[in-house]
Amino acid sequence: MTTVSLTDVAGYLPGRPVPAEFYTEYADAEDSLRDSPMFRIPPLRHHVAADETNVDMIERAVQPLVERHGREEIRAVDVLLTHSQLPDIPFVGAGTEVARRLGLKPQWLIDVANAGCASFIQMIELARTILTTTDAKTALICNAQSAAGQLFTQSDVRRLAQAAIPGDGAGVGYLTTSAGAPVLDVVTRHIGDYGGDMTAVLDDGRKYWEPGESQLRIGFTESGIAQVMERGNRLVPEVVTDLCRRIEVRTAEIDLLVTNQPNRTFLQNWRESLGLSKDRHPDTFDSCGNLFGAAIPITLDRSIRSGAVEDGGLVVLGGFAHAGDFAGAAAIRWGGGHRAA
């Protein structure tokens, strides 16, 4: 069977760090969700510039790959997969413009929409499937998150507890049919029972595309948050444990666990459930907030550049999406394709 490796990763964070005071100075003291562990505020996050798009961020995230592997090698990728947490325009995903900007002519181009914060794992699975069943040899997978500096900075939304948690950024991965950093296995779960539980709300009841003055926000409620906390605490350890069972290792043998990072409570509960110390479960929450789908590649990139990943180490990626309608985990035997910059 063809070996597929996650050969390299890279990330990009826009602008200067934005302090918590950007939100807390305008906080609505009557917001009943302010004391929820779901919304404990990180000190810093990054915001896209007013004229910065998902494609801009992906293009900037890819540049370290170009520098390390050469422009022509990256331009020759056969598969391009993209995920944008907040699409720049309706109807059209980011993939085609990413291809144009980077000079790519992929055989496969897919914009992924359903896997949210765990979409990097889903894209690894999709890329691995394509690379092992077709004549494609290389893939570029791209996550972009731009909601923090747009959706959550609206004047009314900015006052809510939910607004201070997200941050913006982009992360990318380069997969090849080589033995350098083999993807050992991927486990994904599509959980239809929880489909539709994540909602967006406009207080005047209009559709998001209809004219009006109310501001779009996420429809968090106390009961809904309780359900998400229960599901998230359970789902990520479950998929990671299932993955480890399939590759015949104990969870305690994971050298580095990289997950999405909705809040500190999830991060702590996940590593404790899996029997891992904090140094083996790095995150960027305090400096970047909740990066949604971009969290996994950005945190992995930072971990590799800091020397936290040794050649031969077992790297496991894990996460869940939305209100729990998707969860996934991927195991990689790291091989040192990423060269610290």
Residue 341 has pLDDT above 50, yes or no: no
Q: What is the mean pLDDT of residues 145-173?
A: 97
**Confidence class of residue 337 from pLDDT cuts 50, 70 and 90?**
low
Question: What is the spatial distance between Cα 277 and Cα 280, in angstroms, rounded to a whole number?
Answer: 6
Count, residues in the chain: 341
pLDDT at 131: 98
pLDDT of residue 179: 85
pLDDT tens-digit series, residues 261-308 = 999 999 999 999 999 999 999 999 999 999 999 999 999 999 999 999
Question: H helices of 199-263, where?
Answer: 222-246
Q: 84 or 336: whose pLDDT is higher? A: 84
Q: With bands split at pLDDT 50, 70 and 90, how would you rate the model's confidence at 340? A: very low
DSSP SS3 for 253: helix
Supply the pLDDT for residue 165.
Answer: 98
How confident is the model over 55-112, as pLDDT tens digits?
A: 999 999 999 999 999 999 999 999 999 999 999 999 999 999 999 999 999 999 999 9
Q: Which domains does the chain have, with CATH numbers?
A: 5-180 (3.40.47.10), 184-333 (3.40.47.10)
In contact, 147 and 298? CB cutoff 8 Å? no
- DSSP codes, 280-332: GS---HHHH-B-GGGHHHHHHHHHHHTT---TT-EEEEEEEETTTTEEEEEEE
Strand partners, 257: 316
**Percent of the chain scoring above 90 in pLDDT:** 96
Angle between helices 119-133 and 295-305 (to 10 degrees): 80
**Averaged confidence pLDDT in the chain:** 96
Residue 338 in this model has a pLDDT that exceeds 90 = no
pTM of this structure = 0.97
